[in-house]
């Protein structure tokens, strides 16, 4: 299959790499340096998003945020108007349900088809094809994309109409951000009460009260080296989108709002490019640092 893959950040580059060999993959990234390695592995590098999608049978986007998706898709010269009529666009970026429904409408006005398919997981899962994929869209469109997307992750869950995949992603983002914040606070409280960090980690990471994903953060918490699997700045961005979605639905989410404020302050303190587990470092240093 001829696939256009747009967006080659930490996640996108690894996802596109997994499609090489089985498919003809054309890639594009707004920062050309991030696309430099993939042509050596068999991808074709396009000079623009419009060029990338011209003969594609499937277009996948994995971009930073909704403004980046909207600009690349809908600005003058945007890739939607260069796709062949009837082609399927799968947006795997993290956005908001309302935004996915807007993109679905924009695509259909041009005779195109749309699926939102955001993912749960970070760099290690992107490398191994073990992402969890939440899909929203018409059943036929989701099933057409399934063989390709299941190369990127499994399970792939079809949750309903366009926007429903993103709705599930909003729930997951809320749980990720607040669970990491709660664990970091608990770890710090225990240390301030004289408990050894190693003992705390040994006990808490085996306890049913701790979210399983935090086990993957142990080395970072112990070493203070927050090499990025999923950056703190993107967690802050995701919690902002949770807040907007909650506001649209008049859903009170005070815990999520408090976590968002913490990540915002940690971002302002210079931790944005580090893994979001660095919220623990921010708490250790003190909110005013």
Known catalytic residues are 169
SS (H, E, C) the chain: CEEEEECCCHHHHHHHHHHECCEEEEEECCCHHHHCCHHHHCCEECCCHHHHHCCCCEEEECCCCHHHHHHHHHCCCCHHHHCCCCCEEEECCCCCHHHHHHHHHHHHHCCCEEEECCEECCHHHHHHCCEEEEEECCHHHHHHHHHHHCCCEEEEEECCCCCHHHHHHHHHHHHHHHHHHHHHHHHHHHHHCCCCHHHHHHHHCCCCCCCHHHHHHHHHHHHCCCCCCCEHHHHHHHHHHHHHHHHHCCCCCHHHHHHHHHHHHHHHHHHCCCEHHHHHHHHHHCCCC
């Amino acid at each position: 299959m001829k696939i256009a893959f747009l967006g080659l950040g930490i996640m996108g580059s690894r996802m596109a790499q997994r499609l090489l060999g089985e498919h003809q993959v054309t890639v594009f990234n707004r920062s050309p340096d991030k696309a430099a390695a993939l042509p050596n592995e068999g991808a074709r590098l396009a000079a623009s998003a419009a060029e990338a999608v011209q003969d594609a049978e499937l277009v996948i986007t994995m971009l930073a945020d909704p403004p980046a998706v909207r600009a690349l898709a809908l600005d003058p010269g945007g890739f939607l108007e260069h796709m062949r009529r009837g082609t399927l666009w799968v947006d795997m970026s993290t956005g908001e349900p309302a935004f996915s429904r807007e993109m679905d409408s924009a695509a259909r006005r041009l005779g195109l088809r749309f699926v939102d398919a955001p993912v749960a997981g970070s760099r290690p899962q992107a490398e191994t094809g073990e992402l969890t994929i939440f899909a929203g869209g018409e059943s036929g469109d989701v099933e057409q994309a399934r063989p390709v997307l299941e190369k990127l992750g499994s399970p792939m869950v079809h949750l309903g109409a366009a926007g429903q995949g993103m709705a599930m992603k909003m729930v997951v983002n809320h749980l990720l951000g607040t669970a990491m914040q709660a664990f970091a606070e608990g770890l710090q409280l225990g240390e301030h009460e004289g408990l050894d960090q190693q003992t705390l980690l040994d006990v808490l990471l085996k306890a049913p009260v701790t979210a399983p994903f935090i086990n993957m953060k142990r080395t970072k918490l112990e070493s203070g080296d927050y090499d990025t699997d999923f950056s703190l700045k993107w967690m802050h961005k995701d919690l902002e989108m949770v807040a907007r979605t909650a506001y649209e639905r008049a859903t009170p989410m005070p815990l999520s709002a408090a976590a968002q404020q913490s990540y915002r302050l940690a971002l302002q303190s210079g931790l944005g490019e580090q893994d979001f587990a660095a919220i623990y470092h921010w708490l250790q240093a003190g909110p005013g640092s």
